[in-house]
Every structure is written in C-alpha cells, then in structure tokens.
Amino acid sequence: MNIILLGPPGAGKGTQAAKLVDGRDMIQLSTGDMLRAARTSGTEMGQKVAAVMDAGGLVTDEIVIGLIREKLEGDKKGGFIFDGFPRTLPQADALGDLLAEKGETLDAVIEMQVDDETLVKRVVNRAKEAAAAGQPVRADDNEDSMRFRLMEYYKKTAPLIGYYYAKGDLTSIDGLAPIDEVSASIDKILG
C-alpha cells in the first residue's frame, strides 16, 4: 500500500507516519531524511545531492524522483508513506509517472485538516515547553516562522488537495483530533 500524507507543517504527519511504520511495517520516505542520507552515501546520486547542497542550491525534482526511484527498487515491506513529497503539481505528476513505471499504485492520499491558529499556538507552546524543560528549541518554532511556513504551504502544496480530489484519491480527516483518533481515522481509510 502506498500513501501520501498531506497537511501543513505541524499537522502531525511525522507522528502518524511513525505509527504506520510501527503498526503496518510501512517505509516512510521523508525527502529531507533521504537527501541527508544520500549526501553521505557516496553513491552517484549522493554525489549529485552533495554538490547541489554544498553550493547552497535547491535540489531539483529530478534528483528527488531519482532518490525515490532507488527506494522503490528496494524492499517494499508494507508499502510506502510519501512524507514531504510531492509538494507541487509537477512533482505529483512525476510521482504518478514513476509509480506507473514501477507497476505500483497510489492507494490513498490523506489530508490532515487543521486550523491555522491552532497550529500556530501548538508550535509556540511546543517551543515554550521545550525551553522550560531545558531542551533545544527549533529555530523555526515561533509565530512568525510558522505563519510564513503556512503561507508557503498554501501557495505551493495546497493545490495538490484539488489535484488528488479530482482523481478520487483524496480523503480528508480532522488532524486536530487526539493522536489516537487521527490514527484510527487513517486505519479506517487504509482498511
């Protein structure tokens, strides 16, 4: 089973992906993690990633699709969770083409719907709690950064909601429900 988790930053996609990895033996394909791993891998693709990142550039869609292609050719376990990809309509088309080429399907696109103001409060509170506990606080865990990240999400990634809705692949759930309720909603979608 191959799925995409969609939702703005802070919606809980990573938390739910971890639960699917544990509960269904799925493989989480986080583009950030894949880029970091590729950079130090020494492979041909890894050398391309390192060169772009070292030059301060943005990694191209072609490189990200290449990394995903490598993962799809390995052990599939319980299927793949696409986390942080696709982020744009061209990436969605490229992913669809790649899955078709590999004889794979996209089984579900799950949109975790959340209220922006609640998300901003969640991130600010997370930063306060971390600081109070003497833990490191992420540099972007503040109100201004979160509002900027939300704006970027709505400009670039939100069009995917309509794209996957039109294809009949999209199911929306309440991303602000308690973690276990969100997990139960996802399990119900996946069957």
pLDDT given for residue 138 in this prediction: 79
pLDDT given for residue 40 in this prediction: 87
Please confirm, yes or no, whether 24 is among the known catalytic residues: no
Instruction: Give the pLDDT band (50/70/90) at residue 84.
Output: confident
| Amino acid occupying residue 52 | V
- The catalytically annotated residue of 13, 19, 48, 122 is 13
**pTM for this entry:** 0.85
- Cα 161 from Cα 6, distance rounded (Å): 8
Report the share of the chain in percent with pLDDT over 70.
100
Please confirm, yes or no, whether 126 is among the known catalytic residues: yes
Please confirm, yes or no, whether 13 is among the known catalytic residues: yes
Please confirm, yes or no, whether 39 is among the known catalytic residues: no
- The catalytically annotated residue of 76, 102, 121, 126 is 126
pLDDT in tens, 104-153: 999 999 999 999 999 999 889 988 999 999 999 877 788 998 899 899 88
Q: Tell me if 39 sits within 8 A of 50, measured CB to CB.
A: yes
* Res 187 pLDDT > 80: yes
User: In the predicted model, what is the mean pLDDT of residues 35-50?
Assistant: 86
User: In the predicted model, what is the mean pLDDT of residues 31-46?
Assistant: 84
Q: Tell me if 54 sits within 8 A of 38, measured CB to CB.
A: no
- Cα 184 from Cα 20, distance rounded (Å): 11
* Res 42 pLDDT > 90: no
- The catalytically annotated residue of 71, 128, 138, 156 is 138
